[in-house]
Amino acid sequence: MRLKSIFTNSFGILISRVTGLGRDVLMASALGASVWSDMFFVAFKLPNLFRRIFAEGAFTQAFMPSFIASKHKGVFATAIFLRFLLFLMAFSLIITLFPEPITKLLAWGWNAKLISNTSPLTAINFWYLDLIFIVTFLATLLQYKEHFATTAMSTALLNISMMAALWFYMKEDPKTVAYALSFAVLIGGLLQVVAHLVAIKKFNLHKILLGGWKYRKHKDVQEEKKHFNTLFLPGILGNSTPQISAFIDTILATFLMTGSVSYLFYANRVFQLPLAIIAIATATVLFPSVSKALKNGHEHIAYAHLDKAFWLLSFLLGAAMLGGILLAEPIVWLLFERGKFTNVETFKTVSVLQMYMVGLLPFGLAKLFSLFLYASHRHLKAAKIALYSLIASVSSSLILMQFMGASGLALAGSIGGWVLFIFTVKEVGFDRFLNIIQSKKSIYFLLFLTMIGIGLYLLNTFIIQWIR
């Protein structure tokens, strides 16, 4: 297992997520959990949804196996890039001209005035999708060369751009802040593209793209493109269950009290930190190695990676899950309670965060096991499993929101995570899972969680007494 690459990738993601939390702290201070923060989050939700789908799964996990198997890599890569970019640019232009229908889709529970005020923000933010596709495409080429640091740290550029906007416009009216943030999103996206172009040049990958463009009419890659299509469409659903669930939760939250969209956003930002720096970082690094191993018939190497990564994720995610549940109040208080973010909003966000954290371990381990489905081109099976998870999550949301509000939506997402994990393990093979957990490490794991749980409980008791 490539521990050095994993920790390098984790560190890069950590930098990005820490700057993201800094951005959210400034945003909470400037906008609180208000109608304008809800409006910006709704406008940013759709491009951010696609960013997570593209950057953390669907495109990379369909493109990488196809790219590895391609006999004409440059031509294949160029053809896929142009097809997607032209489609996204046309789609973004339509959204720019007619933003209200898509905004209404994002916020069913809002009245016509709110939809009208949010629509311009939606039109601006949507162009980030085009930029992040370029970033993701270039990042996948860098992953093929097993370079991960640029992509891991590049999100920090987006966060820094938004933080700069918040810093300069902090004292302006909420409308001005929301518009400044929206334009800062586009500037951050451009900075990410530039950073990846520099890395592409450094690794001489630009020659692949230039060669692909030059000889695009001289080599037939139709079969390869068709194979990519069969992987990509199921891959969208297979990798996007948490994102689609969160997207639906945002829509459902618009029917709840004002601020519910913001509670979900702030709590999910904290939840995403350990998920990204532990689970996504590990899966991103292992995917090229697992894909190459399975392609060359070296299954024993691929499953040796699985064994080691499973216990690494279990110990780290288990500790993070308990920390997020038991220390939720001090975490939210420390990060967000200042300016317009009040003590009442802290308690609302705390309960949401605790419900999200229930699903941290299963989501992380499902990410690991799903690598073997995508590396072996079983994208359709992964999509079916994701559909089961999505149905469980949405069904639970509709029920739990009636009794628990925004916290019920978060708990429903965690239920979907457990369903995703169970069915993914079943498809990869329960026998392999049992072989992994039937070791002394299972006992050490339980003892570790027990000690961590007791320690965190005592720490939380002390901190709560101090801050109150």
* pLDDT tens column, 189-219: 999 999 999 999 888 887 777 655 655 555 5
Task: For residues 247 and 128, give the distance between their C-alpha atoms in angstroms, rounded to a whole number.
Answer: 17
> How far lies 63's CA from each of 103, 426, 446, in Å?
31, 25, 38
Q: Which two tokens stand for residue 328?
A: 């939720």
Provide, for the chain, the percentages of residues in helix, strand and coil under a 3-state DSSP scheme, each rounded to the nearest 5: 85, 0, 15
- Please tell me the distance from the alpha carbon of residue 47 to that of residue 263, in angstroms, as a whole number: 19
237-255 pLDDT, tens digit each: 666 676 777 778 878 887 8
Which residues are CB-neighbours of 284 under 8 A, at least 6 positions away?
9, 60, 143, 148, 152
Question: Model confidence at 180, in pLDDT bands (50, 70, 90)?
Answer: very high
Q: What CA–CA distance (Å, rounded) separates 441 from 436?
A: 9
- Residues 423/451, Cβ–Cβ less than 8 Å: no
pLDDT in tens, 264-320: 888 888 898 888 888 888 887 787 777 777 777 777 777 777 778 888 888 999 999
Residue type, 53: I
Q: Which domain holds residue 364?
A: 3-467
Digit-coded pLDDT (tens) for 53-104: 665 566 777 777 777 777 777 778 888 888 888 988 998 999 899 988 888 8
Supply angle C-alpha 83, 88, 91, rounded to 5: 130
For tokens 């950590």, what's the residue?
14
Q: How many domains, the chain?
A: 1
**3-state DSSP call for residue 114?**
helix
Indicate whether this model's pTM tops 0.85. no
* pLDDT of 261 strictly over 90: no
Query: How far, in Å, CA of 221 to CA of 214, rounded?
Result: 14
